[in-house]
Structures are given as C-alpha cells and as structure tokens.
Amino acid sequence: MSEIATATPQGHIEVRNFSLSYETIDGSVEAVTNTHIHVKPGEFVSIVGPSGCGKSTFLNAVAGFLKPTTGTITVDGERVSRPSAERGMVFQQYSLFPWKTVRENVEFGLKMRGMPRSQRERAARTLLGLAGLEAFEKHYPEKLSGGMKQRVGIVRALATGPKVLLLDEPFGALDAQTRVIMQQILTNMWQRLKISVLFVTHDIDEAIFLSDRVYCMTARPGSIKAEIPIPLERPRQQSMMMSSEFLALRRGLMSLIREESLKAMGGEINDLGMQGLNIELHGHSLADVL
C-alpha cells in the first residue's frame, strides 16, 4: 500500500490528432475526429459531451481496446497499442466477475501479475478497507448494491497500481445520493494515490465538481470544442456547488453542451424525417386548431 501511495506522480496522457472511424455496412462512420487532449501526471480531467458523441469510443482507444484510425495516444511517452494493467478502467456496467467474490475480484489484477496468494489477499483487504468494503469481501457481486459494485470496480482497477485511471460514466446508473458519495470516494482515492484520471461523463456538475480541467466534446463526429480549467480549490465540499464560481462554470459549460445536444438531436430528427414534428395545418393557424 505505502509503495503505491508514495509513488511519484506519473501517467502523462498525450493524445494527438486522434480520429476513429467504425467500418459498417453503410461505409465508414467517423465517431471521433481531430482530437487533441492531454492529462498531466496526477491531474483529474473530465470529458463531457452529449450522448453518442464518441466519448466511450475515445476512452476505449486510450485503454487500448480500439486502434485509432489516425493519430497517436501515448502514456509517459509510450505508445498505447493494447490494453494493459498500467491503464485501469472502470465501466458504467460495473463489469465485476460474477463468479468471483469481492476480494477475488480485487485480487484479479495482482493474480495476473503472479503475486502469491497470501500477499495479494493482504493487499486486497487493505484496499477494500480503504473503500469501507472489508465486511463484504466474501460476498458475490450479485448481492451488492450498485454503489458498492462500483466501489469494488474502482478498487479493483486501482489494485495493480496503474499510472492512469479511465472511467466511462461510472456513476451514470447510480441514484443521486449514492453518486455524491461515490464522487467523494473517488476524489479521496485519487488524492491519496496521486494518479492521473480521465473521467468521461455527460453530467456537467459531476465534471466540474471532480476535475482540474474539463474538455467539452462536440456532437458526432466528436472533437474537442472547448477546454475549461476548473480553478475551484480543494478539498471540495458539496456546498461549493452553490457558489457563484461553480454556477458560472456550470452556466458556461451548459450552454456549450446544449448547443451540441441540439445538433446531435437535430441530426437524429433529420435522419428519421421530420414527419412527426411537421403538423399539417391545412391553412389554419395553430390557434384555430387548438
């Protein structure tokens, strides 16, 4: 544990000129285009954007699951070519192994690394303790609430001591109260472990509350529309969400996102045809009809 905690900050993510297209039956669909981002060692960076804009695609490429069509992704100067334990990932769908107990789930990365059983058991217990989960180490994931599952997911991703943590809308399926607690836990773990975090969400408040910097993505094909530094001081309290500083940031981001959401929806509506929205009025005015 102490070895992880005192490690020097590393995990510099650099993405240059990134684009990714999916090959489909209708030809190639560009999901993300011309994207540049970076995450400094130990920084907490979020990406917000309307749904379908390519956030997951982008994060999956950083994780090494998808190959960029153009551009490069590097972590500490090393090019990302395949998934690795250096880049921990937390998925929205929890993705715990149902056939493993909570502790076995957390141990998994260490087991893959060849750590002896007794040693990794100890490490897993320590980590579970940090997340307030030691009482559940022998439970199977099915028996846990969503918030607990996701806590295990985060602990599991951190257990191998990755350089960066990637999270894809990890709290999207949780209720509001649980989400707030989870945000607190994530912040605390991040500060303690001093690792870089790339966090994807469509929740603006969440992005502002958690991040040092927020990237705002455009509608599909996604690219970076704006980069907003979040100068709020840390540690952050729930009460800060009412501060004028927070609200100003929120307003700014909100208007950027709204534009893009409308664009995304407009595209959808055009794709489907506007029939449903174009009410035939046969010369009458709307007031007559109503």
Partner 1 sequence: MPAAAAVTEPSPAPVATPTPASPSFGALAGRWYRLNQDRLRATAIGVISLAAFLLVWHLLTTYRVVFFVRFTNVPSPLAVYASFTKAIHDPKFLMHIVFSCRRIFFGFSLAAIVGVPLGLIMGRFKLVHEVVFPVAEVLRPIPAIAWVPMAIMLWPTNEQSIVFITFLGSFFPILVNTLHGMSLVDPVLVRAAQCLGARERSIFREVYFPASLPHIFTGLTIGMGVAWVSLIAAEMISGQYGIGYFTWEAYSLVQYADIALGMIAIGVLGLGSSLLIRGAGQLVMPWRAK
Ligand X SMILES: Nc1ncnc2c1ncn2[C@@H]1O[C@H](COP(=O)(O)OP(=O)(O)O)[C@@H](O)[C@H]1O
> Which of residues 12 and 179 has its CB atom nearest to partner 1 in the complex?
179
CB atoms within 10 A of CB 119: 11
Residue 99 binds to partner 1 (criterion: CB under 8 A): yes
Which one of partner 1, ligand X, Mg ion, none is in contact with 220 (Cβ closer than 5 to 8 A by kind)? ligand X
CB 205 within 8 A of CB 250: yes
The single residue among 93, 119, 237, 238 that binds partner 1, judged by CB under 8 A, is: 93
Residue 22 binds to partner 1 (criterion: CB under 8 A): no
Q: What is the DSSP letter of 50?
A: -
At 91 the three-state DSSP class reads coil
Residue 270 binds to ligand X (criterion: CB under 6 A): no
CB 267 within 8 A of CB 218: no
Which one of ligand X, partner 1, Mg ion, none is in contact with 120 (Cβ closer than 5 to 8 A by kind)? none
Residue 53 binds to ligand X (criterion: CB under 6 A): yes
Distance CA 279, CA 290 (A): 12
At 273 the three-state DSSP class reads coil
Site for ligand X in 10-29 (CB under 6 A): 22, 24, 29
In DSSP notation, 97-164 reads: -TTS-HHHHHHHHHHHTT--HHHHHHHHHHHHHHTT-GGGTTS-GGGS-HHHHHHHHHHHHHHT--SE
Distance CA 127, CA 161 (A): 11
CB 196 within 8 A of CB 42: yes
> Which of residues 31 and 185 has its CB atom nearest to partner 1 in the complex?
185
> Which of residues 35 and 56 has its CB atom nearest to Mg ion in the complex?
56
Minimal distance in Å, beta carbon 87 to ligand X? 17
CB atoms within 10 A of CB 10: 15
Contacting range for Mg ion; rule: CB under 5 A; set: 23-31, 52-60, 181-189, 190-198 = 52-60
Q: What is the DSSP letter of 64?
A: T
Q: Which amino acid is at 139?
A: H
Minimal distance in Å, beta carbon 145 to partner 1? 5
> Which of residues 107 and 206 has its CB atom nearest to ligand X in the complex?
206
The single residue among 56, 60, 150, 211 that binds Mg ion, judged by CB under 5 A, is: 56
Residue 56 binds to ligand X (criterion: CB under 6 A): yes
Site for ligand X in 198-237 (CB under 6 A): 220
CB 159 within 8 A of CB 106: yes
Residue 201 binds to Mg ion (criterion: CB under 5 A): no
Residue 42 binds to partner 1 (criterion: CB under 8 A): no
Q: What is the contact surface with partner 1 in residues (CB under 8 A)? A: 60, 63-65, 82-85, 87-89, 91, 93, 95-101, 108-109, 112-113, 129-133, 135-136, 140, 142-143, 145, 147-148, 156-157, 160, 181, 184-185, 188-189, 191-192, 235
